[in-house]
């Protein structure tokens, strides 16, 4: 189950943990607890961050392409 979430959870918590030098498990717990307390609004933030990260990855891949002029 944990491997499923690591593979399909977009890597937002891992990326934030690396940038902020904070354990990934602490960030995940923060998202879980804050989602329960605020009725899910951090989920919107999480999905927004996942979208931005994937978009940046797509742009990097596109500009590093062999066929880019």
pLDDT tens-digit series, residues 28-54: 888 888 888 888 788 888 888 888 888
CA 27 to chain CA centroid, nearest Å: 11
Phi-psi region of 65 (alpha: psi -120 to 50; beta: other; left: phi over 0): beta
Indicate if the pLDDT at residue 68 is higher than 60.
no
Distance between CA atoms of residues 60 and 42, nearest Å: 27
Q: Is the pTM of this model over 0.75?
A: no
CB 23 within 8 A of CB 17: yes
DSSP 13: H
Q: Which two tokens stand for residue 54?
A: 């994937």
């Amino acid at each position: 189950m944990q491997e499923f979430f690591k593979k399909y959870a977009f890597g937002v918590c891992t990326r934030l943990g690396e940038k902020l030098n904070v354990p990934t498990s602490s960030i995940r717990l923060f998202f879980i607890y804050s989602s329960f307390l605020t009725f899910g609004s951090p989920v919107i933030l999480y999905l927004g961050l996942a979208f931005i990260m994937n978009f940046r990855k797509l742009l990097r891949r596109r500009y590093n392409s062999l066929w880019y002029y």
